[in-house]
Amino acid sequence: MTRFRGTTAGAVFVIAAVACVASAQTIAPPSGATLAATCTGCHGPAGHSAGAIPSIHGRTEADLLQAMLDFKNDRRPATMMNRHAKGFSDEELATLAREIAANWR
Amino acid sequence: MARKGITRRLFAGAALASIPVASMVQAQPARRRVVVVGGGFGGAAAARHLRLADASIDVTMIEPKSEFQTCPFSNYVLAGFKTMADITHGYGALTGRHGVTHVRDMAAAIDPAAKTVRTAGGQTIAYDRLVVSPGIDMRWGALPGYDEAASAVLPHAWQAGPQTTLLRAQLEAMPDGGVVVMSIPGNPFRCPPGPYERISMIAHYLKKSKPRSKIVALDSKDAFSKQGLFQDAWKELYGPMIEWVPLGQDGKVVQAIPGEKTLVSEFGQRHRGDVVNVIPPQMAGRIARDAGLAATEGAMAGWCPVDPFTFESTRAKDIHVIGDASIAGAMPKSGFAASSQAKFVARAIAASLAGGPQEAPVYANTCYSLVAPDYGISVADIFRATPNGIVAVQGAGGVSPRTPKDAAQFRDQEAHYAEGWYASATKEIWGS
């Protein structure tokens, strides 16, 4: 990119636009680890709760996904989880369930 | 600018990936160094999660204190059912188990060009990446008559510690029948529901111990966080003991007179209290402002603009500003939000230093407030980055329902969860 310095304003604009597209394309969707980091503040490190909020480690992927989808679709009563689960796409909830089941023993 | 910065690093990462591993190892200079300024919800979480993300990174946390006292739950110290010990957390696990170097000194200056931090004690510490999480400073004098000396008489108690203890002692010394006067600032400020939880907790203490007393809260705003929930509960639990005076009813305080324990409102009304709690206007901690990381004009002057995808300062490369000091769009200035930002930024920095790909962030906030020990309410949101700032996911999050089924049980359950939330959130940062 450096070699384009000093060209016309128009060329600089084109380069900037290309750079924007490039960065948009190279930002990956949130990983399982990033999604799971939104859980640990309440459910504890690796899902080991320190208090009244349920621990969520050691569960199967299927159970976790079902629970989160039920919270999201208001099929399961909750004080808080129905509000949180609606913040994620179904695909993200699947990634989350896979991440937690695989890593939170 | 910052977006281009990301792109450059991504290209650099791609180039690095094509070099054979052996030569890459040889080309590695020294260990990569990340310095974190501040040991609160943002800083301590960033330090810990940097080490968890990549144990080959040297992490140095610059924090003058040997232990941290949290603003969350400090209102329960005022109410008398928690102690300062309950809200105090040490750094033993961070340094011992997680291998963070704790420099017990004040960060005095940042040199973004040399990539160094100088401490008040005279050390110069070099960084590859810097995380700045200094929290808030009070804007002394922004409310005429309210400076640091005045806070010894009219405590703010908006940074937990001696100020909390002072306000608690004043409440205990107040005779029954006394009046507590509180001043609440305009937006933005640390912990949007905090003043209203504090009103509740002081009322809880008064109802139990000094039932002929009252609390008058003078507010610079007409609306506030979880407003309907708080006001329903106040009416139900405390009745006329709480008087909340909004901006539209001359609630804005324009002068403090410490010698007379008096606050003066916009239209000249004088409110004398037996105890006066002033929550003053605030700004990003000094180190961030001195380093030129804060905006100097506009509505957000005094706070630090950042890239919503990385929390990298838009004013200095390789410096990330997180927590209350940053301008984080829809995210509130809360400890939980700061630690959520810290966790993502820690992994993003580790990935970037290793030449790995950039990923899209997801941030969260979950905040409980107690209106009474068995009456909890909450607000929660999931946040995403857009080029125009951080936004809350629509159709998700929000506050507790206003009229849940089995309301008493619902509020009691959330009060229990408030305790659990605090236990987990602090364990994740300072716990062993």
Count Cβ atoms within 10 A of the Cβ of residue B101 and give its class: 0-12 exposed, 13-18 middle, 19 or more buried.
middle
Q: Answer whether residue B340 is part of any domain.
A: yes
Residue A54 in this model has a pLDDT that exceeds 90: yes
Q: How many domains does chain B have?
A: 2
CATH 1.10.760.10 location in chain A = 31-103
B413 at A interface, C-beta within 8 A:
yes
pLDDT recorded at residue B21: 45
Residue A57 in this model has a pLDDT that exceeds 70: yes
- pTM as predicted: 0.90
| Residue B53 sits in the same domain as residue B78 | yes
The span from the CA of B311 to the CA of B358, in Å, is: 13
Count Cβ atoms within 10 A of the Cβ of residue B324 and give its class: 0-12 exposed, 13-18 middle, 19 or more buried.
buried
- Chain B residue at shortest CA distance from A87: B396
pLDDT recorded at residue B22: 46
pLDDT tens, B265-312? 999 999 999 999 999 999 999 999 999 999 999 999 999 999 999 999
Q: How far is CA B118 from CA A63, B42, B210, B291, in A?
A: 51, 20, 50, 11
Nearest to A28 among B8, B11, B360 (CB): B360
pLDDT tens, A6-24? 333 333 333 333 334 444 4
Q: Answer whether residue B386 is part of any domain.
A: no
Tokens 């199967």 belong to residue: A60
Q: Answer whether residue B123 is part of any domain.
A: yes
| Residue B22 sits in the same domain as residue B90 | yes
| Residue B15 sits in the same domain as residue B133 | yes
Q: Chains A, B: CB contacts under 8 A, how many?
A: 139
pLDDT tens, B310-331? 999 999 999 999 999 999 999 9
Task: For residue B57, count other CB atoms closer than 10 A to its CB.
Answer: 20
B432 pLDDT band, cuts 50/70/90, is: confident
Q: B382 vs A27: CB contact, 8 Å cut-off?
A: no
The span from the CA of B341 to the CA of B43, in Å, is: 10
Q: 3-state SS string over B223-268?
A: CCCCHHHHHHHHHHHCHHHEEEECHHHCCCEEEEEHHHCEEEECCC
Q: Supply the range of the domain harboring residue B176.
A: 150-280
Q: Answer whether residue B406 is part of any domain.
A: no
The span from the CA of B181 to the CA of B195, in Å, is: 12
* Token duo for residue A96: 């989350």
Q: Answer whether residue B145 is part of any domain.
A: no
Higher local confidence (pLDDT), B174 or A5: B174
DSSP string for A21-50: HHHHHHSBPPPHHHHHTTTHHHH-GGG--S
pLDDT recorded at residue A15: 37
Q: B420 vs A50: CB contact, 8 Å cut-off?
A: yes
Peptide bond connecting B193 to the previous residue in cis, omega within 30 degrees of 0: no
| Residue B169 sits in the same domain as residue B276 | yes
Phi, psi at B69, each rounded to 5°: -110, 130
Min Cα–Cα distance to chain A from B260, Å = 44
Min Cα–Cα distance to chain B from A40, Å = 7
Domain boundary among B358, B383, B398: B358
- The chain-wide mean pLDDT, for chain A, equals 83
Q: A44 vs B427: CB contact, 8 Å cut-off?
A: yes
| Residue B11 sits in the same domain as residue B116 | yes
pLDDT recorded at residue B29: 57
Q: B417 vs A52: CB contact, 8 Å cut-off?
A: yes
Q: B424 vs A31: CB contact, 8 Å cut-off?
A: no
User: In this structure, what DSSP letter does residue B350 have?
Assistant: H
Residue B16 in this model has a pLDDT that exceeds 90: no
B425 at A interface, C-beta within 8 A:
yes
A96 vs B contacts (CB less than 8 Å): none
Residues 6 or more apart whose Cβ sits within 8 Å of residue B118: B107, B108, B109, B110, B111, B124, B125
Q: B419 vs A51: CB contact, 8 Å cut-off?
A: yes
| Residue B160 sits in the same domain as residue B261 | yes
Domain boundary among B329, B358, B387: B358
Q: A30 vs B362: CB contact, 8 Å cut-off?
A: yes
Q: Span B386-413, mean pLDDT?
A: 97
Q: What is the CATH number of the domain that holds B192?
A: 3.50.50.60
The span from the CA of B376 to the CA of B371, in Å, is: 6
Min Cα–Cα distance to chain A from B398, Å = 7
A33 vs B contacts (CB less than 8 Å): 347
| Residue B327 sits in the same domain as residue B259 | no
Domain covering A31-103 in this structure, CATH number: 1.10.760.10
Min Cα–Cα distance to chain A from B233, Å = 17
Q: A80 vs B366: CB contact, 8 Å cut-off?
A: yes
ipTM: 0.90
Q: B396 vs A87: CB contact, 8 Å cut-off?
A: yes
Q: Answer whether residue B304 is part of any domain.
A: yes
Task: For residue B293, count other CB atoms closer than 10 A to its CB.
Answer: 28
B391 pLDDT band, cuts 50/70/90, is: very high
Listed range (B7-11, B136-140, B426-430) with the worst mean pLDDT: B7-11
Domain boundary among B280, B303, B331: B280
| pLDDT above 90 as % of chain B | 92
pLDDT tens, B148-157? 999 999 999 9
Q: Answer whether residue B106 is part of any domain.
A: yes
Helix (H, G, I), strand (E, B) or coil at A102: helix
